[in-house]
Chains A and B, each alone.
Chain A
Amino acid sequence: MSAQQPVLQLQNLARVHGAGATEVHALRGIDLAVYPGELVAVMGPSGSGKSTLLTIAGGLDTPTSGRVIVEDTDITTASVKELAALRRRSIGYVFQDYNLIPALTAAENVALPRELDGTSARKARVEALTALEEMGLGHLADRFPDEMSGGQQQRVAIARALVGDRRLVLADEPTGALDSETGESVLALLRSRCDAGAAGVLVTHEPRFAAWADRVVFLRDGAIVDQTVRNDAESLLSGQVAEA
């Protein structure tokens, strides 16, 4: 895997909120690389800096020091305008809830980044429909968000996050507002997109959902304390037999 170029690279990242007495170190010395086809989950207690990490990775916030490299571009030096363009072309976001713009249909929501980027409405729609179809959401294309269930909305949001050439999904508690089974289906979709070659970063506090990741990164007080690497399934089984 490491032979490939990472889609997202965080290098020695630090973020300090406030100054003086109210200074808070939200992140310190974070190093992380996410490769194509990889889903990385970030876990940690609240206040450990999970969400800050994600917003910085997506260029919604700027680090105090360190570098963020998305697809060979160092976004820490990019202007506001360039960041917006980067979000249109390279980075997809999925939030906890209300991910979709209520005024637009599913297809239009998915097409939005493309249209904002200047693609013609028709072409953007074709791309959006393709993305939806790929994820088995074609039947939702012309529904408005308030005509969809929460799980459907989140799945459409994932489709939007990956429409066009985008292959980095940043998901912040995407299952937070969903029941267990629906949340699972959303993660299954995310998983399958990563298996198909996308790179994903998932912030969650639910171990069950983090377990869908290839790698789980544990954050504590703004620093990475540990990370897991996935086992081969079969070897685990034998180990588990002994425990049972």
Chain B
Amino acid sequence: MSIRHGLLALLERGPRYGSQLRTEFESRTGSTWPLNVGQVYTTLSRLERDGMVAQGGEDAAGHALYAITDSGRAELKAWFEKPVDRTSPARDELAIKLAMAVGAPGVDIRDVIQSQRHHTVKAMQDYTRLKAQALVAVENGGAQERDDVAWLLVLEQLIFQTEAEARWLDHCESRLIRLSATAARTTATTATSTATDARSTPAAPAPATPAPTTPPAAGAR
């Protein structure tokens, strides 16, 4: 779904050909969602089928150019306006893992949590490292600024998502500590509910192409 709308958003800025779309998409999302050209052309043909894009001539090098149609624009507008669907939480392996770990013999759930947290924080550190670089790039400005800002937002989305996970882990840990102090009887049920209570993180992030009105990203001040 998101690739479809991502391509529409790119085409809104003018006609493009397939591999060009792929390159732009990747630079916008910081290669977090690599596409292959096949995916691009499959999506383009589906869009063409739905009347949202139309083939419109060739460029100097003889690439076939695609352009957005009015219904495509309408679709794009509707997509920007509609919030990301949260009704069907994606399956989260971590949540399931923790739920299973509760009460499982021979497993120290605190170690499970810590090892996950270690991993999560480390990931955050790395994202943050990238973000720091992106911040520098954004501040230095230049021709690529639009793409840099988009990249920054994607990175921050990742960071916040990871942070949510880390926080959730913290929460799980402190709750487990408290519960283990009271009674062993309820351990299993509580742990299950803990897992389901926790707000699941959407598995497939929806990369938001920045609208032109989006303020320049963090770090500019």
Residues of A within 8 A of B (CB): 43, 45, 181-182, 184-185, 188, 191, 206-208, 210-214, 216, 218, 225-226, 228-231, 233, 236-237, 240-241, 244
Contact = CB atoms under 8 A, between A and B. Distances in A.
B123 A240 contact: yes
Contacts of B158: 240
B120 interface: yes
Interface in B106-140: 114, 117-118, 120-130, 132-133, 135
Given A211-B124, A228-B118, A241-B34, 5 more contacts: A184-B218, A185-B221, A216-B122, A228-B121, A230-B129
Contacts of B39: none
Contact of B31 (A212, A230, A237): A237
A236 B114 contact: no
Interface in B193-221: 204-205, 218-219, 221
Nearest to B34: A241
Contacts of A188: 132, 135, 219
B23 interface: no
B219 A211 contact: no
* Chain B interface mostly: helix
B160 interface: yes
A218 to B, nearest CB: 7
B79 interface: no
Given A216-B125, A241-B34, A208 B160 contact: yes
A225 B177 CA distance: 15
Interface string B49-62: 00000000000000
B132 A211 contact: no
Most A C-beta atoms less than 10 A away, residue of B121, B122, B135, B204 = B121
Contact of B125 (A45, A182, A185, A213): A213
B170 interface: yes
Given A207-B120, A218-B114, A225-B114, A237 B32 contact: yes
B163 interface: yes
B138 to A, nearest CB: 12
A231 B122 contact: yes
Nearest to B93: A243
B121 A45 contact: no
Contact of B118 (A181, A185, A226): A226
B128 A211 contact: yes
Given A185-B219, A208-B160, A233 B129 contact: yes
B150 interface: no
Please list the 10 inter-chain residue pairs (A to B) with the smallest Cβ-Cβ separation, ordered nearest first: A211-B124, A236-B126, A207-B166, A211-B128, A228-B122, A208-B163, A211-B125, A233-B129, A207-B163, A231-B126
Contacts of A228: 118, 121-122, 125
Contacts of A184: 218-219
Contacts of B117: 218, 226
A191 B132 CA distance: 9
Interface of B: 31-34, 114, 117-118, 120-130, 132-133, 135, 158-160, 162-163, 166-167, 170, 173-174, 204-205, 218-219, 221
A182 B220 CA distance: 11
A184 B160 CA distance: 13
Contact of A208 (B32, B124, B219): B124
Contacts of A207: 120-121, 124, 162-163, 166-167, 170
A29 to B, nearest CB: 18
Contact of A210 (B114, B121, B133, B173): B121
Contacts of A185: 218-219, 221
A230 B34 CA distance: 24
Contacts of B133: 233
Contacts of A244: 32-33, 204-205
28 contacts: A43-B121, A45-B174, A181-B221, A184-B218, A185-B219, A188-B132, A207-B121, A207-B124, A207-B167, A207-B170, A208-B160, A208-B163, A210-B121, A211-B163, A212-B128, A216-B122, A216-B125, A218-B117, A226-B117, A228-B122, A229-B122, A233-B130, A233-B133, A236-B127, A237-B32, A240-B32, A240-B123, A240-B158
B50 to A, nearest CB: 25
Given A45-B173, A233-B129, A211 B32 contact: no
